[in-house]
């Protein structure tokens, strides 16, 4: 998904007045559940999306996400279909990990400067989702939206209780990988956690980068650095 957006960032990403609001902390991948914020009842995360999720097969320099910062609200679209939607600030604290290498730092820098967010829309039972990237490189101007089309389309389709297929169409090319839940809504590691650790140690650096909001905001997500 973000490989397509990198092209857009290169042309439209300019200095954001808030882009220096984070520090990057390097932590071992195996301990990542001690640094991210799992989605839970306490964060008002829907049960289907609680915990932490491993992006299994993602070719880019990011591995684990949380929906803890997403504020899902009910909606009805123009065709009368109902569901839930929320914005996820990809660059914010506590919800995303990046590889601690040059590529990971470059990728995070582009995501931060463009203020990349994902508008995620799910149907009522959270079995099908649509992801719409938005970015805001100039904070005084309207956000740039990359809507679904025949050339660009990002979906989440539930294939098991703790797994979604992340299906993409980018410039007509179809690809897929999996979101696998590795920590549940109560903070307990699931069997897939070991798969995650083994996978990342085979393919990438031993540490992950975690952005920390310099302004400080306790346990509140999204942080004041994001909004």
Give residue 173's pLDDT. 79
Residue 57, in any domain of the structure: yes
Per-block mean pLDDT, blocks of 10 residues, the chain (227 long): 44 45 93 94 96 92 93 90 94 92 93 92 96 78 73 90 91 87 97 94 86 78 85
Residue listed under structure tokens 């004041």:
224
* Residue 227 within any structural domain of the chain: no
44 occurs within a structural domain: yes
149: domain range? 2-9+21-213
pTM, entire model = 0.86
d(CA 33, CA 50): 13
Q: Which residue has the tokens 């559940």?
A: 33
Q: Is there a domain that residue 221 lies in?
A: no
Q: What's the confidence (pLDDT) of residue 8?
A: 46
Q: What is the pLDDT of residue 203?
A: 79
**Residue 16 forms part of a structural domain:** no
Q: Is residue 225 part of a domain?
A: no
Determine the distance from the C-alpha atom of residue 143 to the mean position of all C-alpha atoms in its chain, rounded to a whole number. Answer: 18
Q: Are 53 and 181 in contact (CB under 8 A)?
A: yes
- How far the first Cα of the chain sits from its last, in Å, is 24
Q: What is the pLDDT of residue 226?
A: 86
Which pLDDT does position 56 carry in this prediction? 94
**pLDDT of res. 13:** 43
Count other Cβ atoms within 10 Å, centred on residue 160: 10
The total number of structural domains that make up the chain:
1
């Amino acid at each position: 998904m973000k490989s397509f957006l990198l092209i857009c960032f290169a042309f439209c990403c300019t200095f954001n007045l808030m882009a220096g609001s984070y520090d990057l902390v390097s932590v071992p991948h195996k301990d990542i559940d001690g640094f991210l914020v799992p989605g839970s009842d306490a964060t008002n995360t829907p049960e289907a999306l609680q915990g932490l999720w491993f992006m299994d097969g993602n070719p880019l320099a990011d591995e684990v996400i949380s929906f803890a910062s997403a504020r899902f609200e009910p909606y009805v679209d123009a065709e009368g279909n109902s569901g839930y939607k929320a914005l996820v600030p990809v660059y914010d604290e506590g919800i995303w990990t990046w590889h601690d290498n040059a590529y990971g730092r470059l990728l995070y820098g582009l995501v931060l400067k463009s203020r990349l967010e994902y508008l995620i829309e799910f149907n009522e039972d959270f079995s099908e989702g649509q992801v719409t990237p938005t970015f805001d490189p100039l904070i005084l101007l309207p956000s740039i939206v990359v809507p679904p089309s025949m050339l660009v389309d990002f979906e989440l389709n539930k294939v098991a209780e703790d797994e979604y297929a992340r299906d993409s169409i980018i410039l007509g090319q179809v690809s897929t990988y999996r979101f696998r839940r590795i920590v549940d809504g109560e903070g307990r590691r699931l069997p897939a956690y070991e798969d995650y650790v083994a996978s990342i140690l085979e393919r990438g650096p031993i540490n992950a980068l975690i952005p920390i909001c310099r302004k400080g905001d306790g346990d509140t997500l999204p942080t004041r650095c994001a909004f």
